Amino acid sequence: MSLLVTGSIGIDTVKTPFGVSENCLGGSSVYFSMAASLFTPVRFVGVVGSDCPFDLARIFAGRNVDLAGLEVRPQSKTFRWTGLYHNNMDDRTTEALELNVLAEAPPKVPETFKDSEFVFLANTAPALQLELLEQIEEPVFVAADTMNCWIEGHLNDLKTLLKKIDCLIINEDEAGMLAAEHNLIRAAQKILNMGIDAVIIKKGESGSILCHANGGMFILPAYPACDVKDPTGAGDSFAGGFMGYLAQSGNTQFETLKTAIACGTVVASFTIADFSLDGLTAISKNDIDQRLKTLRNVTKF
Amino acid sequence: MSLLVTGSIGIDTVKTPFGVSENCLGGSSVYFSMAASLFTPVRFVGVVGSDCPFDLARIFAGRNVDLAGLEVRPQSKTFRWTGLYHNNMDDRTTEALELNVLAEAPPKVPETFKDSEFVFLANTAPALQLELLEQIEEPVFVAADTMNCWIEGHLNDLKTLLKKIDCLIINEDEAGMLAAEHNLIRAAQKILNMGIDAVIIKKGESGSILCHANGGMFILPAYPACDVKDPTGAGDSFAGGFMGYLAQSGNTQFETLKTAIACGTVVASFTIADFSLDGLTAISKNDIDQRLKTLRNVTKF
């Protein structure tokens, strides 16, 4: 089934203990699409300014990413982010942030994308996520990401959004904040009570937890990665692998959600092995399958 | 096969967001024995002073814990610990520590215990762990715990110990410190290179990782516990469930180690549900089996 993503395209500068990558390609929809297109075609919706130095058509060459929803605004500047990762690679500090075009009106969803069945709303203001979602006619399964600033400052919009989507993908600190609850299992239950079917809580190098309104639960460790150079995009790659597998499968049964989470986990393990998209561009479906097999093997008892 | 534990017996005062438990029974060998005796008989070696208000024979009634190695020193005082847990329940501060009898010579291993096959050396100075181990004639499988102060101040003793035992059970911060490596998978490999067969890295509410010198790896999330009142003793209960299952099984094959880790994980989930030993005393093997089934179910894909 068709899969649409809306999210950011960024010019990133990333500093980790392993080096610095200046002005490299980043952004949630970029990581998502590179990951999801390993499984299924992707419809891409995003916006850049005239300063964007990246040729996305070339970058996604061979990956079945439809860029009909890529908008270039001549009078605007592209989103920029500079981040510093600390030694444990799970904590990071934002050193500089220029929203630029992301502070303007969101991009339009092209007519040809309006029948999309699977939709991922990457992190942005919940009001914009709602505005984007309203442009999709009859989505089958909608997942969204959010972050601390929207939970703190736009909670009502976020709660409205949660009633209109199927799955929230969120990290553990954000889950604790949204639910006002330290215990993650209780926090997940409280978030389900806000009106969604599924919540996935990401725990970085400790994996993720899926809790479903049908009572189902799934807990998966992260892939045991020796090589962690740059965690940027891990969460969006996870979401891309998850949604890509779901759209490819064409169903959202609980067992399918579980395998989809394993796919997201494995794709993210490739993302973090190198800077920017370099860990993702060279891999094939076969590499994914190998790591899925390993992940199944090291978690089975 | 026979299972022996040497470790502390403590008078604990524990403060958590859920309440305060003053002068309650604690100590590594106590938690370990309560956990392990759910699976197999336990031989207990430990020492208290004349001020110890607890009747261990009564506390372990019905649990098959042989207290022949319990020594009471009339001129000494019992080990005391006061700890404060913070909101996330994984971080804690030691507010007061009186080593008392633990700063004296270690207890003697009784003659009738010297043929023990499975041995757990709970956390203490590595030189003392070595001294205790030397009293066992022909152990089949020895596991030990350690902590930051021994890694920092007694590294040579610890490295000598590692060459004489089979398995180190350690938390993630300690593993990173011992291996001088932030990445846990690499840290585990470095620790294996110090000369042991297996290392288990405990990650609190994120579960644990087993790495084996034979190349095997096993990653298990924590049991999804809604009720966390007091994490004290979780690590020692984990070790107790792990060693108890191994001794009961009588083998140390990799598949057995995996199930043993699941047993340790489940037992620890009962420990943290209440203060002191209250979460452990009321449960039966049937409760363990129920949670094992749940844990297998929520981790399978």
Of A157-161, A239-243, B95-99, B134-138, which gets the smallest average pLDDT?
Answer: B95-99
* pTM listed for this prediction: 0.94
What local confidence, expressed as pLDDT, does residue A243 receive?
A: 98
Q: What is the pLDDT of residues A231-285, one digit of tens each?
A: 999 999 999 999 999 999 999 999 999 999 999 999 999 999 999 999 999 899 9
Q: What is the pLDDT of residues B127-141, one digit of tens each?
A: 999 999 999 999 999
Name beta bridge partners: A48.
Answer: A72
Instruction: Find out whether A181 and A193 touch, Cβ atoms under 8 Å.
Output: no
Confidence of residue A201 (pLDDT cuts 50, 70, 90): very high
Q: What is the pLDDT of residues A273-289, one digit of tens each?
A: 999 999 999 899 999 99
Read off the tokens for A152.
């703190």
**For A190-198, what is the mean pLDDT?**
97
Across B105-205, the runs of DSSP E, i.e. the strands, are 118-121, 141-145, 167-171, 198-202
Residue in the block written with tokens 């978690």? A299
Read off the tokens for B77.
């005082």
- What is the distance between the alpha carbons of residues A94 and A152, in angstroms, rounded to a whole number? 18
- Looking at residue A4, what DSSP letter applies? E
Are A217 and B298 an interchain contact pair (Cβ–Cβ within 8 Å)?
Answer: yes
Could you tell me if A183 lies within 8 Å of chain B, comparing CB atoms? yes
Could you tell me if A224 lies within 8 Å of chain B, comparing CB atoms? yes
Instruction: Find out whether B11 and B26 touch, Cβ atoms under 8 Å.
Output: yes
Are B221 and A219 an interchain contact pair (Cβ–Cβ within 8 Å)?
Answer: yes
Phi, psi of A50 (to 5 degrees): -70, -15
- What is the distance between the alpha carbons of residues A219 and A201, in angstroms, rounded to a whole number? 10
ipTM: 0.93
Minimal Cα–Cα distance from A223 to chain B, Å? 9
pLDDT exceeds cutoff 80 at B90: no
Q: What is the pLDDT of residues B245-273, one digit of tens each?
A: 999 999 999 999 999 999 999 999 999 99
Confidence of residue A227 (pLDDT cuts 50, 70, 90): confident
Of A81-95, B53-67, B147-161, B210-224, which gets the smallest average pLDDT?
Answer: A81-95
pLDDT exceeds cutoff 80 at A292: yes
Question: Which site among B200, B206, B254, B296 would you substitute to test the A interface, given the most A Cβ atoms closer than 10 Å to its Cβ?
Answer: B206
- What is the distance between the alpha carbons of residues B270 and A15, in angstroms, rounded to a whole number? 42
What residue of A is the nearest CA neighbor of B206? A206
Are B298 and A219 an interchain contact pair (Cβ–Cβ within 8 Å)?
Answer: yes
Segment 101-130 of chain A within 8 Å of chain B by CB:
none
Question: Which site among A181, A186, A219 would you substitute to test the B interface, given the most B Cβ atoms closer than 10 Å to its Cβ?
Answer: A219
What local confidence, expressed as pLDDT, does residue A225 receive?
A: 92
Distance (Å) of CA A172 to CA A152, B165, B208: 15, 37, 18
What local confidence, expressed as pLDDT, does residue B238 receive?
A: 98
Instruction: Find out whether B83 and B14 touch, Cβ atoms under 8 Å.
Output: yes
- In total, the C-beta contacts within 8 angstroms joining chain A to chain B are 76
Could you tell me if A286 lies within 8 Å of chain B, comparing CB atoms? no
Q: Looking at beta carbons, which residues of chain A come within 8 Å of B296? A: 301
- What is the distance between the alpha carbons of residues B263 and B249, in angstroms, rounded to a whole number? 12
